[in-house]
Chain A
Amino acid sequence: MTSAPGDREIAVVAFAQTVHRRTSDESSEVEMLMPVLHEVLDRTGMKTADIDFTCSGSSDYLAGRAFSFTLALDGVGAWPPLSESHVEMDGAWALYEAWTKLLTGDADTALVYAYGKSSPGSVRDVLTRQLDPYYVAPLWPDAVALAALQAQALIDAGDTDEPALAAVAARNREAATANPHAQLKGPVPQGDHLVRPLRTGDCPPIGDGAAAVILAAGDRARDLCARPAWIRGIDHRIEAHGLGVRDLTDSPSTRLAAERAGAFERPVDTAELHAPFTAQEIVLRKALRLDDGVVVNPSGGALAANPIMAAGLIRIGEAAARIHRGASDRALAHATSGPCLQQNLVAVLEGEPR
């Protein structure tokens, strides 16, 4: 053990992801995940047996069966038995759980992975099952309709307009041209209104994908990675579920998580925001006080690839990868869950001075 609990330095030392696709009919979830697990381990030269703790994020509702994560665990190769856990959340929260495990000193390395296949069903309808089961879910308000409510609230507040939303879409997909894993990139027509005021271009592509990250503590991280992405702070907060009691033009949970993660102590040079809908990027930029000097979503963000349950973890991975390759010194990564940015996580990552 390199340092004591509570003040251990923990870093993202490797990241891998699939090429995200509209469908992956030809492969099971395990088959989709396996190459990513191999790739992330290969980057560090580690084997499954070298990992002290494993944690994953996925959803039975996407998989359409109970205990779907057990099949993925078979792919990890859980023999001899592993110290392992799973959250029914985006993988960013699996990373959070792994981070606390490393902080206790009980583990020095952790494998975190997440995956989701949206292609087998109608994800707009599936996500309605997240809503209050007594008063809201019976009405089947779908994810795009709820995001449109948020966009309209933002327009009504004078915070944005349709051309500004189109510009968000265009910038993300332009950035995605440099991302070989992105699903939707380059010039994409804004299209017709899907749910007013959101046009098809304001919405994320529906697709399948997986991602994996390796965390390591202290000197172990330095051994495994030339320039570790140190987690200087990470925090997450949830808001009320009822949309009627929330100000949809703001994201107080993101702001509070960012404060707790130390995001406002010094400027960041990069931000990877988990904003599946264009208007949500506007909300997040405001909550996080990001000015035009910050490179936002150089990967193209969730508007370029949105494999549900993995898209938040990918934001952390993308931010870390930029630090690994020297393209960033201090980056913010954000993940979201629930309707209209109900739950948000913020991580601040730093590379050591070059």
Chain B
Amino acid sequence: MSKEPVAVVGVGQTKHVAARRDVSIAGLVREAARRALDDAELTWADIDAVVIGKAPDFFEGVMMPELYLADALGAVGKPMLRVHTAGSVGGSTALVAANLVASRVHGTVLTLAFEKQSESNAMWGLSLPIPFQQPLLAGAGGFFAPHVRAYMRRSGAPETIGALVAYKDRRNALKNPYAHLHEQDITLDKVMASPMLWDPIRYSETCPSSDGACAMILTDRAGAARAPRPPAWMLGGAMRSEPTLFAGKDFVSPQAGQDCAADVYRQAGITDPRREIDGAEIYVPFSWYEPMWLENLGFAGEGEGWKLTEAGVTELDGDLPVNMSGGVLSTNPIGASGMIRFAEAALQVRGQAGEHQVDGARRVLGHAYGGGSQFFSMWLVGAEPPES
């Protein structure tokens, strides 16, 4: 007897915005969960367990908020798990939930991730001073900018690549009603003229701070057979972690990311990701991470990722569309950002992605990373169930 196949039969998101002052944290998560249930045509009673994830508790100022959210998520009397693996948490949360189904512990699981960034200030939440420890101070952008510069130097990529990514993702977001940023009048010139924040990362090449939640209903074969809409099938999923800092660490293309992708491809029987995968939702919080991750994920050779971006391969109508939803560059409720990648991948293979649907998407990758480019979680979903 092999693992139980896992299917995504429901996806729900909030409209991501800078500040959802009209709802509490509980109201925010319930909205996404309710939409996922509606999509699956299920009720709270159909859910066996709840797996919730978010980034650091300091981002809202609530310690272990799942305790307070048990009621809002219909979890009373049920098992409830809370995952926290830094920025990769949205993906990790979905994978922990998937294991509950794959192991046949539960039949149908609600998984959800959220962040209500307007409750606090993420940059300073990341910068609490601790004696004898290096403070981050400038937030995530200051941490990642040197690694982008290292990539540019190593690959010889033209300086314009980052702007191309941002211009593409912000235009894709216009086709996604749930995306935070809807910049109707975006132009490439405007991106390139935007203020420099952390050289070489410009304001328009940076993710926003968002309030939002994303939920999915994961279920077994029997659940998938009852689903009103086509399910997305999990073909492979993996997490990998490596230390923050160590001699020889490659911040541009971390080994943990390569290993994680290799594990997912092995599970899914993928030998040539560039040809066999129809699209990817990749965690790109700063524009340059698109070409960097294209290489890390095996879609391009070392130093070649930027050429895919430059040639338009990653555009919505390109050969390998990336971040069809607008990506993290257009929507970033931090703890939910990974799950949005996983959920958008599922929407694509279900044919439910609306205006940003890629025609004929059969296999799509969802990717998340976090910490100091050290925590990775990924899954590959398909329109067909895995071969047993």
Contacts and interface: CB of A to CB of B under 8 A. Distances in A.
B79 A126 contact: no
Given A59-B63, A60-B58, A130-B67, A84 B241 contact: yes
A105 B3 contact: yes
B84 A88 contact: yes
Nearest to B73: A238
A85 B239 CA distance: 8
B113 interface: no
Interface string A65-87: 11101110110011111111111
B255 A83 contact: no
A81 B240 contact: yes
B126 A66 contact: yes
B51 to A, nearest CB: 9
Interface in A1-32: 4-7, 28
Given A85-B239, A89-B64, A131-B68, A239 B85 contact: no
Nearest to A5: B3
B82 A66 contact: no
Interface in A79-111: 79-89, 93, 96-97, 100-101, 103-106
Nearest to A69: B84
B78 to A, nearest CB: 6
Contact of A130 (B3, B59, B63): B63
B60 A133 contact: yes
Given A80-B259, A101-B99, A60 B57 contact: yes
A6 B126 CA distance: 40
A43 B273 CA distance: 42
A238 B70 contact: yes
Interface residues of B, number: 69
A134 B24 contact: yes
A101 B84 CA distance: 17
A339 B100 CA distance: 26
A5 B86 contact: no
A79 to B, nearest CB: 6
A253 B77 CA distance: 6
B243 interface: yes
B82 A81 contact: no
Contact of A237 (B64, B78, B259): B78
A240 interface: yes
Contacts, number: 197
Contacts of B149: none
Contacts of B67: 130-131, 238, 241, 337-339, 342-343
A89 B79 contact: no
A133 B28 CA distance: 14
B311 interface: no
Contacts of A70: 86, 244, 371-372, 374-375
A83 B81 contact: no
Contacts of B86: 67, 70
Given A5-B104, A127-B63, A79 B128 contact: no
Contact of B2 (A4, A54, A65, A78): A4
A318 B260 CA distance: 35
Nearest to A309: B64
A117 B76 CA distance: 30
Interface string A163-198: 000000000000000000000000000000000000
Contact of B63 (A83, A126, A237): A126
Interface of A: 4-7, 28, 54, 59-61, 64-67, 69-71, 73-74, 77-89, 93, 96-97, 100-101, 103-106, 126-127, 129-134, 137, 235-242, 252-253, 256, 337-339, 342-343
User: Which 8 pairs show the lowest CB-CB distances between chains A and B?
Assistant: A66-B56, A103-B103, A81-B256, A4-B1, A84-B241, A88-B84, A129-B63, A61-B63
Interface of B: 1-4, 24-25, 55-71, 75-86, 92, 95-96, 99-100, 102-105, 125-126, 128, 130, 132-133, 238-246, 254-256, 259-260, 263, 371-372, 374-375
Given A74-B243, A133-B60, 16 more contacts: A5-B102, A59-B63, A60-B57, A65-B128, A66-B56, A67-B371, A70-B86, A82-B240, A83-B241, A85-B83, A87-B84, A93-B82, A100-B99, A133-B61, A238-B66, A240-B71
